[in-house]
Structure 1
Amino acid sequence: MEAPAEAPALGLHTELSNEAYHADKTSLSSSGARKILPPSCPAKFRYEQDNPQPATKTFDYGNAAHKLVLGNGPALEVVPGARWDTGKAKAHIAEIRERGGIPLKDHEMQMVKDMAAAIRQHPLAAALLDPAYGAPEQSGFWIDEPTGIRRRVRFDWLPSIQSGRLIIPDYKTATDASEDAMQKDIAKYGYNCQAAWYEEAAQALGLGGADAEMLLIVQEKKPPYLINVIGIEFFSREIGRAKNRVAIETFAECTSTGYWPGYADHNPNYLALPGYAEARDKELYLP
């Protein structure tokens, strides 16, 4: 797909703003690909592309932590007072958001400062995010050969010394960073798809070979702000790679036709009971 004149050029961009990155609607990102696939659908993807969603506290906390941990992102500003429902507070918050900043309460600002301090004290996370050997928020654009569409990626962090195997850290905040919780989150949020996408991006952009790997640096949002560094095993990443391919081909088809299907546009979807309910009710009610 040929990009419009204002779209970022193909290749790696070290200084591209987050706004300019997301403004390119002709390309597909990892998060966009995941939005195309079930349990979502192409119609939801297209709507959210055309109608940016309002900020939420969850995103504010994540973006604020990214700012202090990675050293790049929107400005953080404390809004004084415990109550944000007054006219003065609402006006102040609106003005901060209009500038692209993130409004925080005092205790929220202290939380993200403490999270950043905990990262710096963690031996592995601190080494992966060492500013002497890498830089944050780098964007890449490349052409998907099978379909000809533009793909894009925004790395949280890229090492500046790329001898040997490329390790791509990706920072996330979570309520629970334990192995059990994160295994569920990998499935829920498609982090295996993200890992496969980032690894393919590194190859396409000439940053690393077939052995490039994304590692999640996951940090809890409550004291003591525990950190877990998580790799996603090979077969799970291969499943992610296959799902990405379906999403890419769907995006290419929808872009070509201008038709972004929802759940059941032409034929009904026939559903069975969930397995647990079928087993229970079959035993209780069927002869």
Structure 2
Amino acid sequence: MTITTDAGAQAPAAGPVIRDDLTAEQYHADRTSISSSGLRALLPPGCPAQFKYDRDNPPAPKREFDLGHAAHKLVLGEGPEFRIIDFPDYKKTAAQNQRDEAYALGLVPLLPKEHDQVQAMAEAIRQHPIAGPLFTPGTGRAELSIFWTDRETGIRCRVRPDWLKELPGLVLAADYKTIKSADPDTVSRAIRDHSYHQQDAFYTDGIWAALDPEDMRFVFVFQSKQAPYLITVRELAQQDRDIGRARNQRALRLYADCERTGIWPDWTGPVTEIPTISMPSYDTLRQAEEYLQ
């Protein structure tokens, strides 16, 4: 393992590296490694062609992420600074111009009501019996950048855990996510829809590779974006983590093949015949029972 604090220093390409000097922008701009979000984008409903386009053409900041970025800053102590846009909304051109200027400067624009909201969210975290002690300032490290090489494919990988606590005999990693509602059913669907089980397995593997702990745990902290900003802390079921790891390995093999050949296929790939398509299996079965009997 190599820990690098000098932005100009280079570590051995094949060995694990932990860096505490990279900004989020520098981390996400790295083209020598692939991240968890990249692996997830390679598999359906994504595809390699869309992944490569998005990697080469980074999208503009999205308003939907502003609250999450701001909450991360207050809870973890790391992330872009805020700029308060002193308007009730973005209907006026002046408000829109100030918002766009903030984005250009790498700041998170917040309306006054949004600033009040993220302050209340951070306070709810501090008062929570599990999340509060977990994120206590000074007890962990926020947003370290970890790089390692996947043994099977030789692909360089990277993760950036929100929060790492190194305890006697245990490394505890926590991922903080804001969500419309943190009720367990909605959280469960979010894990499926965003393939967070892949993220869990990938981060776990990266931390094992870089820190070689005696033991480790990875937990999700979900917080509702609606008052009173309730919080659900959960650890993923092992079977889901195993599925996530298998998906990661398939995505890594796909990525390695794309890099080797320079071919980044879409959902169909090279075919000479037009494939068939059907409704989702549940609907096919339901309608077949109703109409084909």
Per the TM alignment, residue 182 of structure 1 is displaced from its structure 2 partner at its CA by: 1.1
Deviates more, 1:90-99 or 1:235-244: 90-99
The CA distance in 2 between the partners of 1:145 and 1:162, in whole Å, is: 27
Instruction: Say if 2:83 and 2:107, in contact at 8 Å, map to a contact too.
Output: yes
For structure 1, the residue ranges without an aligned partner over 5 or more in a row are none
Distance apart, 1:87 and its partner CA: 3.3
1:137-171 deviations in Å (ceiling 9; x for gaps): 11111111221111000110111x33222221100
Q: Give the letter aligned to residue 212 of structure 1.
A: M
TM-score (norm 2): 0.90
* 1:215 corresponds to which of 212, 215, 219: 219
How far does residue 83 in structure 1 lie from its aligned partner after superposition? Answer: 4.0
Between stretches 57-66 and 79-88, larger displacement belongs to 79-88
* Aligned-residue identity in percent: 41
Establish whether residue 277 from structure 1 lines up as the match of residue 286 from structure 2. Answer: no
Query: How far apart are 1:275 and its partner, in Å?
Result: 3.2
Aligned mates of 1:194, 1:101 — CA distance in 2 = 26
For structure 2, the residue ranges without an aligned partner over 5 or more in a row are 1-6
What's the CA shift string for 1:47-67, capped at 9, x where partnerless? Answer: 111111122222111111111
2:277 maps to a residue whose letter is: L
Aligned residues between the structures: 281
CA distance in 1, matches of 2:183, 2:98: 37
Q: Is 1:194 aligned to 2:199, yes or no? A: yes
Q: 1:276 to 1:75 in 2, by over 3 A?
A: same
Structure 1 runs (4+) greater than 6 angstroms displaced: 5-8
**C-alpha spacing 1:284/1:132, structure 2 compared with 1 (3 Å):** closer
Matches within 5 A, 1:63-142: 63-142=69-148
Equivalence for 1:34: 40
The letter for the 2-side match of 1:92 is: Q
Report the TM-score, using the length of structure 1 for normalisation.
0.92
Of residues 173, 189, 194, the one that matches 1:184 is 189
Cα distance, 1:7 vs structure 2? 9.9
Which residue pairs with 2:246 in the alignment?
242
Does the 8 Å CA contact 1:68/1:113 hold for their aligned counterparts?
yes
Task: Tell me the equivalent position of 1:206.
Answer: 211
> Over aligned residue pairs, what C-alpha RMSD do you find?
1.9
| Amino acid paired to 2:203 | Y
